[in-house]
Structure formats: C-alpha cells, structure tokens
Amino acid sequence: MTMKHPQHAKWPQLATLAKRLLPSLSLLACTGAAAALPPLYVDPQSTAAIWAVNNPSDGRVTDIRNRIANQPGARWFGGWSGEIGAAVGHFVGTAWYYGRTPVLVAYNIPARDCGQYSAGGAGSLQAYRDWIRAFATAVGNRPAIVVLEPDALPQLDCLDAAGKSARLELLRYAVAQFAALAPGAYLYLDIGNSAWLTPAEAATRLVDAGVAGARGFALNVSNYRTDAESNPYGVAVANALRQRGLEKTFVVDTSRNGNGPNGTQWCDPAGRKLGVAPRVNPAGSTPEMVLWIKSPGESDGCAAPAGTFSPDLAYKMIYGY
C-alpha cells in the first residue's frame, strides 16, 4: 500500500509551474525571502508514515498519522542512504515534481557525535568531500532546505587540534559546494541549542565554518528547548554575526519542544510534547522558519536504537506524557 497525497490530481500542473519558476527560486535562495518558497514537503516515506501504513488497526494510528506523519518533516541522509547522489536526487526530485520544498539533513561528518549514540560518519576526509559534493550536485538548481551536520560545531571540543581544524575545513568545503552546485538550496549550519554555547562563541564557530556562504544557522535540532529560549538566543547569535559584518537568519527545530526540556535529560526524556507545526514565517521574521528536523517518535538512543521509530514515544509526545 502506498500513501497518496490529497492533491495528487494537481501534481502535473504543479510540476509544470515549478519548472517555469525554477530560475527565480534559485535566485531567492541567495537574495529573497523564504516565504517565497513552495510549500514544505510532507514525506510519505517518513518513519511515522511507514509505521501508520503498516499498522492500520493500531489504536494510536489516527493520532500518529494526523499529528505527526502528515506534517512536513526532514529526511536525514548519511552512510545508510546508499549512493548519496541517487538518494538525494530522488527525494528532492519527487518534492520538486509535486511543487513542494523538501527539508534535508546532511549527517555524515567523520567522528560524528563524538562516538556516542549516533557515532559514525564518513571514513576519511576525502570520503566526506566526495559525499557532500555528490549531495550538493544532486540538489542542483531545485529549491530545498538543507541543515548541515547537526552537532558538528558544538561538539568541536571533543576533538584534538588537528581534528578541529579538519572538521572546520570540511564544513567550509561543504558550504562552498552548495553555493556552487546547489544555488536553489537554503543552507543552514547547525550550532546546537540555547543551553550549549554562548552567542559569541556560537558566532565564532559559525564564522570559522564558513557561514558567510550559507543562508544562516539552525537551532535546537533534536532538542527540547522552548521557543521562548531558542528565539532570543537565535537573535543574539545573529547579532553577534552582524558585529562581524554578516547578516544571517536562522531556523528552529520545534518538533519536540512543546513542554520544554526535562531538566538535563536529553535522551528520550519522559513528558515531552510536540511543538508548533512546521511553517515558513512571513518575510523579516525571526526565526524565518520553524521546522520539524527531528522526527517526533524517533528515539534518541535510549528507548530504542537511535533513529528508530517508537509508536509509544510518538503517542506520548502528542499528548505530553
């Protein structure tokens, strides 16, 4: 059984319109408002959507389908994705055909997650360069939102001097590839959450990673900090960048921040709740988008292996218990 979009009859017309607007959309990624992007893409192959299709008689399925699976969310790409050009190209191409903007996460930096629950990444510096170049090439001129390497900058401190230098070089390389090969992409460098780095330190790391060539930065990915914490923090980081001559905007992951954090617990804490639904905000807003970058119901690595969809986690997150 395949999931069908309620507007499937309009897809050919939307595809034709998208093709006509493609040059303008590519230019907007560099100069215009995010509000001009096509609507966000709902991934029919998200883990929540697949679970809903495979469990039609489960008593939780209606809530999980309506509250999570039918919301626009990000798809994460890493070593599990197979040939990255084909994987990214298919995902972006499908969204483009239907006149939608996909959200993608590049998550393959060497020494990822400091060897913790999401350890892994490309096996060498050159392997990562090849991987991220193929990623950007596959996005091409089509509109897309890309979050670059969650935690890679906040976790610099777990690396030695050589490792820090190499990681920053890889991030600068990635930014350059998207600028050259994917002019339609809105690229955001992840910089952690409001409880991690001071705004000044966050700005320093972003500058060192090449944020000058990106759209901006991403906050609260896979975390639980409230909008009341994240939004002022994002403004403070943007102000620190402005003092260095850079005008940058930001996006916030609101997928699981409805109840805020549970103290210092970050790994599948109890009592968390969905945040506001994904949307592109009006021009000039801060943040310019709120996104569901972490898919609600996917484990942090404690309730189940990291990234595994748990209907129990998802259902409790809908109701906040």
Which positions are annotated as active-site residues? Answer: 113, 151, 300
Element (H, E) at 186: strand 185-190
Give the whole-angstrom CA distance, residue 281 versus residue 157.
34
Residue 47 Cα distances to 54, 64, 97, 234, 294, angstroms: 11, 11, 22, 29, 11
CB 146 within 8 A of CB 124: no
Residue 34 Cα distances to 186, 187, 193, 264, angstroms: 8, 12, 22, 33
Reported for 261-268, long-range contacts at CB under 8 A and 24+ positions apart, including other chains, are 261/195, 261/223, 261/224, 261/225, 262/224, 266/223, 266/224, 266/300, 267/117, 267/300, 267/301, 267/302, 268/299, 268/300, 268/301, 268/302, 268/303, 268/313
From the list 251, 250, 256, the residue with the least C-alpha distance to 294 is 256
309 forms bridges with which residues in the sheet? Answer: 298
CB 258 within 8 A of CB 273: yes
Q: Is 36 helix (H, G, I), strand (E, B) or coil?
A: helix
